[in-house]
Amino acid sequence: MKYVQLAFLLTLGILCLNAADDLEIRWVSVYQDESRNLATVDPGSKIKIMCLIKGGEAPFTIYREDKRLGQTTKRTIRVAVRAKSENGSYPVNISVTDAGQRKSITTAYYHVGEQPKPEEPAEPEDTGTLLLSGSPDDDDDWGDDDEDEEDVVDEYLEKGTTVYPWTDYQNRTIMNTMLPSAVAIGDGNWYYRILHVARERIDDEPLTNFIGLDDSVKIGFQVAYGFTENSDLLFQRTNGRALQVNFNRADPTKMDYYDFIFRYQFLKQRNGSFADAAIHVGPTIMDRNFSSAEQSMNAGIIFERNVMKDRLRLGLGVAYASLSTYENTIGKGPATKLTPDEYDALTAIGAPVPDEEDEHTLAIPLMFKYALSKKQQIFGEIIVPIDGYETTAGPSMLMGYRINGNTHEYSVYLSNTGNPSYNGTITGGHDYDQINLFGFTISAFF
């Protein structure tokens, strides 16, 4: 009988709620002894908030809370009628959902109808709570001007995520030196990067060739734009190699790389996921003198996770290029990998060509980043080719130092590959145990 009564009352309550949808303003009063953030309240603790709730179907949205909590941010709550009415009010259960987990449950009284009149405010004291405009106890009508806008809430604050001074900088690298990271740039944001990496080893002529940067430098210009909070498009142009595949031409034949990478971030660690994770896909177009081109279809998935209080960020993934490439470091390492187009051109003029190589490469990228301080990091990246073409001289490797500014990011590094294009970085390095190519990047966020 009890259950029948409860079911009846539940239905009645829901009906009452539905009937009350016509009302534009409703109030929920919840009481708590001390001022705390609602999202971090332990189950069972008493809270006190005065909420103005918009009508409509659950979940309702609180857009104004009591002065004691001092929050004017949006929160989504679920409201359900649980028992019979008491004195014109409906006891309800309120659960606050934070990062997909129910953080607090408490009973509140759901008043249908007019806003309950607050108690007469006591004379403010030195140690009292500051009474903000718009709070239920404020009797001063400022007519809240038209210039008022919604607050833009801080995700970390909103979700109650623990952060450290270096967390933001650990998470904001959207492009690791060789491959994209697992973090999208964010809606409407722009990113620019210029990368220089020498093809001359620093131990050849460290002083006279300015640690390899005087000549034979690979330069990557990159720009990225965030279309949504979780998706962006990265474009990078890298100068390619000069191959004499057509001896009848007076000008050298040049090939440049154009990377187009679409990325979608589908996991965020700060939202409670195990790690940040993103997939990326897109072509690298290898253009020769704007007359002929070949393309590689690239795809990958990257996972990155902060550990040790966000000090250490570790990354792991898979990267694939349907037509990989490799350009030899000057004077050392495996020979340049020819593309089918180059084979054809060289064969046509009777030039000697090496045995044809596998066209694709599948690799495992690994990375780490360690925060030395709020803005400084050391980082390392390794990409191990596991299938298809590889240089047979070990994985691509680099290690470097990065410093972050307000809008810029600067890094210097040593590497064993001078191939910055997507399908060139994953094929391996020029040597197992030497990282002697100097490179640097300058990035800007807007």
Partner 1 sequence: MIKLLGAICCVCLSLTALSAADGKYLHLTLDVVKGSGDDPMFVIFLENKKGFVKTLYWFSRDDKWFEDLTLWEKKRKKAGYKTWKDEPGIDAVIGPTIAWGKSKSCKIPIQQGKINILDGTYRMRIEQRKDKGGHYKNFKLPLKTTFKGGTLENNGYIKKIEIKVKEASKTKDVVKK
Which residues make up the interface to partner 1 (CB under 8 A)?
A: 35-37, 67, 69-72, 123-134, 138, 140, 142-143, 145, 147-149, 151-157, 163-169, 172, 186, 189, 310, 406-407, 445
Interatomic CA distance for residues 99 and 79, integer angstroms: 18
Contacts of 363 (CB under 8 A, 6+ apart): 318, 319, 320, 383, 384, 385, 386, 395, 426, 427
CB of 155 to partner 1, least distance (A): 8
* Beta bridge partner(s), residue 49: 30
CB of 193 to partner 1, least distance (A): 17
> Residues 164, 313: contact at Cβ < 8 Å?
no
CB of 286 to partner 1, least distance (A): 35
Interatomic CA distance for residues 329 and 186, integer angstroms: 36
CB of 16 to partner 1, least distance (A): 32
Tokens at 178, concatenated: 């060789």
Task: Measure CA 330 to chain center.
Answer: 36
CB of 104 to partner 1, least distance (A): 15
> Residues 278, 264: contact at Cβ < 8 Å?
yes
The phi-psi region of residue 367 (left if phi > 0; otherwise alpha if psi is between -120 and 50; otherwise beta) is beta
Q: Which is nearer to partner 1, 231 or 295 (CB)?
A: 231
Report the run of H or E that residue 159 belongs to, with start and end.
helix 155-159
CB of 303 to partner 1, least distance (A): 21
Interatomic CA distance for residues 234 and 221, integer angstroms: 11
N-terminal to C-terminal alpha carbon distance within the chain: 65
Q: Which is nearer to partner 1, 24 or 140 (CB)?
A: 140
Q: Which is nearer to partner 1, 182 or 255 (CB)?
A: 182
- CB environment 252-264: b (16+ within 10 A), e (fewer): ebebbbbbbbebe
The phi-psi region of residue 253 (left if phi > 0; otherwise alpha if psi is between -120 and 50; otherwise beta) is beta
CB of 266 to partner 1, least distance (A): 21
Q: Which is nearer to partner 1, 40 or 107 (CB)?
A: 40
> Residues 166, 289: contact at Cβ < 8 Å?
no
CB of 407 to partner 1, least distance (A): 8
Tokens at 270, concatenated: 């700060």
Q: Which is nearer to partner 1, 20 or 99 (CB)?
A: 99
Task: Measure CA 71 to chain center.
Answer: 27
Q: Which is nearer to partner 1, 171 or 298 (CB)?
A: 171
CB of 306 to partner 1, least distance (A): 11
CB of 44 to partner 1, least distance (A): 21
Residue 279 to residues 185, 273, 313, 436, Cα–Cα distance (Å)? 14, 16, 18, 31
* Beta bridge partner(s), residue 332: 329
CB of 127 to partner 1, least distance (A): 7
Q: Which is nearer to partner 1, 130 or 207 (CB)?
A: 130
DSSP single-letter state for residue 87: T
The phi-psi region of residue 310 (left if phi > 0; otherwise alpha if psi is between -120 and 50; otherwise beta) is left
DSSP string, 270-286: GGT-SSEEEEEEEEEEE
Q: Which is nearer to partner 1, 38 or 178 (CB)?
A: 38
